[in-house]
Amino acid sequence: DEEFDELCFEFGLELDEITSEKDIISKEKGEEKAKGASDVILYKIDVPANRYDLLCLEGLVRGLQVFKERINLPRYEKIIPAEGEGQRLIITEQTAQIRPHAVAAVLRNITFTKERYDSFIDLQEKLHQNICRKRALVAIGTHDLDTISGPFTFTAKAPSEIKFKPLNQSQEYTGSQIMDLYRTDSHLRHYLHLIENKPRYPVIYDSNGVVLSMPPIINGDHTKISLNTRNVFIECTGTDITKAKIVLDIIVTMFSEYCEKPFTVEAAEVVYPNGKTHIYPELAYRTEKVKPEHINKKIGISETPSSLAKLLTRMCLKSHVTGNGNHIEIEIPPTRADIIHACDIIEDAAIAYGYNNIQMVIPKTYTIANQLPLNKLTELLRLDLAAAGFTEALTFALCSQEDVADKLGMEISATNAVRIANPKTAEFQVARTTLLPGLLKTIAANRKMPLPLKLFEISDIVVKDPNTDVGARNYRHLCAIYYNKSPGFEIIHGLLDRVMQLLEVPPNEENGYTIKAAEGTAFFPGRCAEVFAKGQSIGKLGVIHPDVITKFELTMPCSALEINIEPFV
């Protein structure tokens, strides 16, 4: 176990834990439920999200074997069948509105065992969750080719016109009945929304009208794969052609090792609505050139070009030195869609060299770190506000529209709030434009505490600002609140004086601070003042309006102060 852990680390993976089905169930559901579960040891391995080729046992073992130099990297080949003998997938124009792209391939004379079959299904599931973005971008269908006859047609029809027996069901259903059938299915219900409200559903037929699948929901029962399946027809449909090609490449490269001629894939022809044809899978190899000194410099090592080429070859990137050692030529196999830039190649060289083997050096640039002045001021103020008897609160930077507008008696448009485009909950719709609602909600959650409640918070608020590059700006605000049987305006006013005293701002008009009577929608009329300092308005203090208090489900009067502390930095 320790050796394997070490090997994973060297290869850039992490052996998360060594467990068993029994352990997992007993941890989640208690020991009672775990009775009868398997004791077989399971390795939980963390694979980086970009390495789709390591998502199944086949790919992982192949990668580790090449890394340990026990085998050479296999060469993946596509076999183009004789004219008229290959499989064809015809795309009709009806699919354009819903899932316009499709790719296909065939694995010939494959031998499945229980383990291989499970791994095959498991890889599809992992790809669905990962690169396929929960089937939104690509959906994979695998079928027993001997139960159907091509050419195949990928089209889109009205839900009522589609009728077939879905996988592992005993009777036929129409498209809309399938939606109702799986609405309660814990696994499939998450994909229904992808096509549910579309006028037509995508569907794939063979030449006799047998339904292969209704992507991205379910395959037909007729074409299901069993352990005796010898020829597998794979189709990937989707909204993103690049991802569909990658997914197809990964599946065929991983499982072609079980074909009669290992690592060969039979190509299929896809016919587009405009009559053009394309052969898939692409299984494209390409070469890149990188300078050895570039690799050495970026990682901070000094290896010879030939040893760098050897390191890269161990990472499944077959490399050799060209041009008197000035360049390393690297062949990128179809399994490595994650190699986009020279940096990706350099990263692999670093992994093969071993992160722990890279010498630590002191950086050439000499810098002295310094605290951001605004944060330094914030820290100093926090200590003194606490010393003044106030308790610090930390509240969410996001809140609902009601919190910053309606409850404070304002229009949402007047607040200049930044809105979240697709909020997950009603509580987090906008970024806060004031700290007051957060503190009022904190008091509402602590009404059982003995009075008085004295809270403060110094945090950022966010407002729209068309003059900045991101269209919004942060301001550091200080907000304090006093909640008791009487409003205690004098306590909040006293706190303002104390803050100004600490900031060494005198109470006068010329170069100090003043307060002037003002109106604020959240404050009681005639009990609100605006604070001026450094020649500008920095905030307000006053007694909170009874309507605001009731809207936040409070019962006692309270007074508050909110100022911007940035002018004092």
- Identify the domain containing residue 336 by its residue range: 286-357
User: How many Cβ atoms sit within 10 Å of the Cβ of residue 39?
Assistant: 8
pLDDT score for 102: 94
Whether residues 487 and 341 share a domain: the answer is no
In a domain, 54, yes or no: no
Number of domains in the chain: 4
pLDDT score for 80: 92
Whether residues 350 and 394 share a domain: the answer is no
Amino acid at 370: N
| φ, ψ dihedrals at 371, nearest 5° | -75, 145
Q: Domain of 29: which CATH number?
A: 3.30.56.10
Give pTM, 2 decimals. Answer: 0.69
Q: Among 280, 300, 329, where does a domain finish?
A: 280
Inter-CA distances, 394 with 286, 304, 478, 538, Å: 53, 54, 12, 22
In a domain, 255, yes or no: yes
pLDDT score for 425: 86
pLDDT score for 309: 93
In a domain, 143, yes or no: yes
pLDDT score for 423: 84
Whether residues 423 and 493 share a domain: the answer is yes
pLDDT score for 422: 85
In tens digits, the chain (569 residues) has pLDDT values of 899 999 999 998 998 888 888 887 777 777 777 777 778 888 899 998 889 999 999 999 999 999 999 999 899 999 999 888 889 999 999 999 899 999 999 999 999 999 999 999 999 999 999 999 999 999 999 999 999 987 999 999 999 999 999 998 999 999 899 999 999 988 888 999 998 889 999 999 999 989 999 989 999 999 999 999 999 999 999 999 999 999 999 999 999 999 999 999 999 999 999 989 999 999 999 999 999 999 999 999 999 999 999 999 999 999 999 988 889 999 999 999 999 999 999 999 999 999 889 998 888 888 888 899 999 999 999 999 999 999 999 999 999 888 888 888 888 888 888 999 888 888 888 999 999 999 999 999 998 898 899 999 999 999 999 999 999 999 999 999 999 999 889 999 999 999 999 999 888 888 889 999 998 888 999 999 999 998 889 999 999 999 999 999 999 999 999 999 999 88
Question: Does residue 120 contact residue 104 with C-beta atoms inside 8 Å?
Answer: no
In a domain, 68, yes or no: no
pLDDT score for 229: 93
User: How many Cβ atoms sit within 10 Å of the Cβ of residue 341?
Assistant: 9
In a domain, 378, yes or no: yes
pLDDT score for 408: 86
Whether residues 512 and 438 share a domain: the answer is yes
pLDDT score for 146: 92
Q: Domain of 170: which CATH number?
A: 3.50.40.10
Cβ density class 488-526: b for 16+ within 10 Å, e for less: bbebbbebbeebbebbebeeeeeeebebeeeebebbbee
pLDDT score for 413: 84
pLDDT score for 226: 92
Q: Domain of 477: which CATH number?
A: 3.30.930.10
In a domain, 70, yes or no: no
Inter-CA distances, 354 with 11, 12, 115, 350, Å: 8, 9, 33, 6
Whether residues 413 and 561 share a domain: the answer is yes
Counting Cα atoms < 13 Å in the Cβ hemisphere of 447 gives 11
Cα Rg, the chain, nearest whole Å: 33
